């Protein structure tokens, strides 16, 4: 792995995804350039040929078409050689009848160190991390799971879709969207930041442009 960006420290939300050239099961790739104009989800797993990781890769693959429908690609990662990744893919196909279509990064440890993926109490294995990166290469979501807990891929898919809707419409997404306990599949209009806008907000609600519980909690359908 050849690092191009010399910035040190784990990247944060809003940072540009670090530029790096990596070996994958689909050949050499340069991130984030390889996914330019697309969102992508980079997710790390502790190791190949492990039970929880196997269930996760099958779950991601089962939803791969849904991610692609959102203009979002997937890329896996672990500190394993590319030969191990290839054999593991073959095992999954032969035994579970699932063909992994997305690339997997074969990391020497440099990528994991750059992204802060090595758990200090778990030797050299990577944690179950998720980086959601938008079409401009900006990190929008970071999730970390312990080795003992498999991820919920429907939640990751929901998060990508929700962020895209938020960006497109300038709105916020309620808890458990699109099944929120208060406003269902509606989205939240950002709160007013001055008195004038707060008063206008309630007047617009009276005209049916959207609905409000109060000036600071307004919502609408999209």
Active site residues: 53
Q: What is the DSSP string of 158-200?
A: HHHHHHHHHHHHT-B--TTTTSBTTTBT-EEEPPPSSHHHHHH
- Tokens 């898919």 map to which residue? 157
- Burial environment of residue 192 by CB neighbours within 10 A (0 to 12, 13 to 18, 19 or more): middle
Q: How many C-beta neighbours within 10 Å does residue 186 have?
A: 20
Distance from C-alpha of 53 to C-alpha of 118, rounded to nearest angstrom = 16
Distance from C-alpha of 21 to C-alpha of 42, rounded to nearest angstrom = 14
Q: What is the DSSP string of 95-150?
A: HH-----S-EEE--SHHHHHHT-B-TTSTTPBPEEEEEE-TTSBEEEEEEE-TTS-
Coil/strand/helix, residue 82 = helix
Nearest to 104 by CA among 128, 83, 124, 76: 76
Cis before residue 178, ω within 30 degrees of 0?
yes
């Amino acid at each position: 792995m050849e690092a191009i960006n010399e910035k040190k420290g784990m990247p944060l939300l809003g940072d540009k995804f670090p530029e790096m050239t990596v070996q994958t099961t689909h050949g050499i790739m340069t991130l984030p350039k390889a996914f330019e104009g697309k969102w992508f989800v980079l997710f790390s797993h502790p190791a190949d040929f492990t039970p929880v990781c196997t269930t996760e890769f099958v779950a991601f693959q089962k939803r791969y078409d849904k991610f692609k429908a959102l203009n979002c690609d997937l890329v896996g990662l672990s500190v394993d050689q590319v030969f191990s990744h290839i054999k593991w893919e073959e095992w999954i196909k032969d035994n579970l009848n699932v063909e992994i279509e997305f690339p997997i990064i074969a990391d020497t440890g440099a990528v994991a160190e750059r992204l802060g993926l090595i758990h200090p109490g778990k030797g050299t294995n990577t944690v179950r991390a998720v980086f959601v990166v938008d079409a401009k290469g900006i990190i929008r979501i970071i999730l970390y799971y312990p080795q003992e807990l498999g991820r919920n891929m429907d939640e990751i898919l929901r998060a990508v879709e929700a962020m895209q809707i938020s960006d497109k419409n300038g709105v916020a997404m309620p808890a458990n969207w699109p099944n929120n306990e208060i406003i269902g599949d509606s989205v939240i209009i950002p709160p007013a930041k001055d008195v004038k806008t707060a008063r206008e907000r309630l007047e617009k609600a009276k005209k049916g442009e959207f609905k409000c519980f109060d000036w600071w909690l307004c919502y609408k359908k999209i």
